Chain A
Amino acid sequence: MPSVQQVPIVDYLRIGARPYLRAAECEHCSARYFDRRNACAKCGGVEFSNTRVSNHGVLRSFSIVHRAAPGIPVPYVSALVETNDGTTVRSNLVDCPPDPEHVKLGMKVRLTTYVAGIDDVGTECVAFGYHPN
């Protein structure tokens, strides 16, 4: 029986045995980008190389979203995470009750992945989030 096909929700999420986020890093100033850049927005450099972003970080900001477009389950926690190597990432905070008593600024978090959906041919979409560490 063939194994289930999986695809990452976005291409900067690298899935597999040890999932991580991939960034294009400016070879001149080390600024990191999750999308392609013609030139670095910080320094203007045009050489980039792929780098692995740390899976560990702290919760720098968040919002508990109770109102969203139809079809989006609420409430959920939108999080800004500053990774240990200084890259800011936005995703959901998962495995944590969505209330201000449990979501704490500065809390340590870690990258996690989960299956977020399945398409008509059975391919699974893998998303990432952060959970309390």
Chain B
Amino acid sequence: MAGDSVWVLGASMTRFGRYPDLDAVDLGARVCLEAFTDGEVTIHDMDVMAAGTLFQANTSMGQRIQKQIGQTGIPVFNVTNACATGATAIRTVYLAIKAGEAEMGLAVGVEQMGKMGLLAGGSKVEANLYEPSGRFGAVTSVDGVLGTATMPGVFAQAGMAYAYENDGVGFEQFAKVAYKNHLHSTLNPLAQYQKEFSLEEIMGSPIQSYPNTLLMCCPTGDGAAAAVLVSEERLLSMPKRVQKRAVRIAASVLTSDPYVESGQVQPDVNTLTRNAASQAYESAGIGPQDLDLVELHDCFATAELIHYDNLGLCETGGAGDFIDSGAPFRDGSTPVNVSGGLISKGHPIGATGVANVFEVTTHLRGEAGDRQIEGARVGLAHVIGLGSSCGIHILEKSS
């Protein structure tokens, strides 16, 4: 008898990088068709679709992709949730299946950023006449005067706050995270960059927002990823070879940031991740020690380090020791970001949260090629969108 689990049936992603001759619709359509082929289904099997993009959020992305892959009249949810956009698309389809309104659905995330450069913080605007405006009655632009709102700086501050509260965390520990992810990316043909850098090169590359140097920051880029989700009942009606490659979603969680005192000046990326992790572990009936691999949101090296603690991968306060011990390297006890992570695989924002589900799925199927984590049975995919949202999916190999 079928349970009520939801499964990943098919998945695909483009290599992340630069696609100046294609548009976001092309990238999205390509991965949707590939995900159908991967799951041995067609658009006619889909009951629902969710499409995630951040920078083209008001463009009916899902419907525009349908015009390239098949307009069957199914409901489309166009979703956006900052860097958690892709995970939100997956969770939307998951919920539709859980609710019994759909047997099968398509989640796609896509972004075309080009060389967008530094995100957030705005530009320097000198006022001709000082007139208060906005919620804070600002008379001129405040970025760079009342601290930083840019992403490398905000996440640097998140990391340094952890360093203030915990011993054994400093510039070198943060840099080791980037060393690891660049190293891992050399095995991933889908990564935007596939180049190893020494720790010295990473620490010596231009400082963006100390302690984050250039090689400790994710790039901007283009890319797309898609996943086909299916109910257990429908899956059991499909050919054995399809069932065998399906991966069970043991947990699907989305949280927002609860009130914390400092939240009005510094987005809190910790509490919502901790809340999501505890819900996800409870739902999956496992603990962090059971994870064979983790793809987490390393938009900056400082972010990855604090998420070791937020996801319970290390002892409380022990993220510095965790990276120093080698545990998150691909040959360590808890491989983290074996894809190269956002730092080197890339971070086309809307695609990221689907791409890390693709990555974990590929390992659990044993199809990850040179970067395969041997014998992987359980993996976790995590994303954070500032504002804030956290998405976590725990996936399990079919038994």
Contact = CB atoms under 8 A, between A and B. Distances in A.
B44 interface: no
- Pick from A69, A79, A117 the residue with the most CB of B within 10 Å: A69
Interface stretch (B26-34, B52-60, B154-162, B323-331): B154-162
Interface string B118-151: 1001111011111010011111101111111010
Contacts of B208: 65-67
A20 interface: no
Interface string A37-75: 000011000000000000000001111111111111111
Contacts of A34: 136, 264-265
B210 A11 contact: no
B136 A10 contact: yes
Interface size class of chain B, counting residues whose CB lies under 8 Å from the partner chain: 35 or more
Contacts of A106: 164
Contacts of B130: 7, 119, 123, 125
Interface size class of chain A, counting residues whose CB lies under 8 Å from the partner chain: 35 or more
Given A63-B209, A65-B150, A125-B139, A88 B266 contact: yes
B261 A67 contact: no
B171 interface: yes
A26 B279 CA distance: 30
A78 B147 contact: yes
Contacts of A36: 135
26 contacts: A8-B137, A11-B132, A34-B136, A41-B263, A61-B163, A63-B148, A63-B153, A63-B156, A64-B207, A65-B150, A66-B210, A67-B206, A68-B144, A69-B121, A72-B124, A74-B144, A78-B147, A80-B161, A80-B262, A82-B262, A88-B265, A90-B146, A90-B266, A117-B126, A120-B128, A123-B129
Of all A-B residue pairs in the complex, the 9 with the closest CB atoms, nearest first, are A11-B137, A71-B124, A72-B144, A63-B156, A88-B262, A64-B210, A61-B161, A90-B265, A78-B147
Interface of B: 118, 121-124, 126-130, 132, 135-140, 142-148, 150, 152-153, 156-158, 160-161, 163-164, 171, 206-212, 259, 261-266
Given A66-B210, A78-B157, 8 more contacts: A11-B132, A42-B259, A61-B157, A63-B210, A65-B209, A71-B124, A100-B211, A117-B140
